[in-house]
Amino acid sequence: MRTPFDILAEYERRSLAHAVVLPEREIAPDQYRGVGYRVGQRRLVSNFGDVVEIVQLPPMTPVPGAQPWLLGIGNLRGNLFPVVDLKQFLEGERTVLHEGQRVLVMRQPGGDVALTIDELYGQRSFHESQRIDPGPLAEGRYAHFIERAFHGEDEQDWGVFALSLLARTPEFRQAAL
C-alpha cells in the first residue's frame, strides 16, 4: 500500500522528468536594472542588491528623542528595524502616509532599515545609451546619492539612488536628537 508521501514523491518525479530548463537571461554589461520608485517629485531607481524586500508599512512604535524623520521602530515577522521617512530626511518635508503605504526594506550593516516611498514602479531597465546628466534630479541633498541618471522609454528621467551610500551617511546612522 502506497502512502500519501509516496504518491506525492511519484508526482514530483514525473513532473521533474518533463520540466523544461530555461536558459538563464544574462544582463548586458551596458544595461542597468533596479527597483523604480518615487520620492516627492523625483523618480528614482536603486540596485536590486540593496533592497531586501518591498512591503506595506509595518506597525510602528515611536522612539522618544529621535530625529523627526525616524518614524519609529517597525515589526515585520518578528524582526525589528527603524522606519525612516526618506522624503523628510532628504527634503525636510514629511511624507503623507496612507493606507497601503509601501516601504523599501534596505540592507545596511547592523540590520535592515525601512524607507517610506511615495510610489512604487517595480523593475526598471535602462541601456547605457539612455544615460543623461543627473541635473535637477541630483540637486540638494540628493546630490550625495545620485551620480547618474537615465531617460527612460516612458519619457521620464530616473536618478540612480545609491542606497549603499545612504546607509553609510553619518547623519542617517545617527538618528538621536
What would the pLDDT profile of 103-120 be if each residue is shown by its tens digit?
Answer: 999 988 888 999 999 999
Enter the DSSP assignment of 48: G
Which of 51, 15, 16, 19 is closest to 33 using CA atoms?
Answer: 51
The pLDDT of residue 51: 95
All 3 cell numbers of residue 159? 536618478
Q: Taking 80 as the threshold, does the pLDDT of residue 15 lie above it?
A: no
Tell me the average pLDDT of the chain: 91
Coil, helix or strand at residue 168: helix
All 3 cell numbers of residue 94? 514629511
Is the pLDDT higher at 46 or at 7? 46
- Domain membership flag for residue 6: no
Coil, helix or strand at residue 12: helix
Q: H-helix or E-strand containing 163?
A: helix 163-168
Rg over CA atoms, the chain: 21
The number of angstroms, rounded, from the C-alpha of 58 to the middle of its chain's C-alpha atoms is 15
The pLDDT of residue 58: 93
- Domain membership flag for residue 10: no
- Domain membership flag for residue 19: no
- Domain membership flag for residue 50: yes
- Domain membership flag for residue 90: yes
- Domain membership flag for residue 2: no
Q: Give me the CATH number covering residue 121.
A: 2.40.50.180
Number of domains present in the structure of the chain: 1
- Domain membership flag for residue 166: yes
Coil, helix or strand at residue 114: strand
* Range(s) of the domain holding residue 133: 27-173
Q: What is the rounded CA–CA span in Å between residue 167 and residue 114?
A: 11
- Domain membership flag for residue 22: no
pTM, full prediction: 0.81
Coil, helix or strand at residue 154: coil
Q: What is the rounded CA–CA span in Å between residue 117 and residue 119?
A: 6
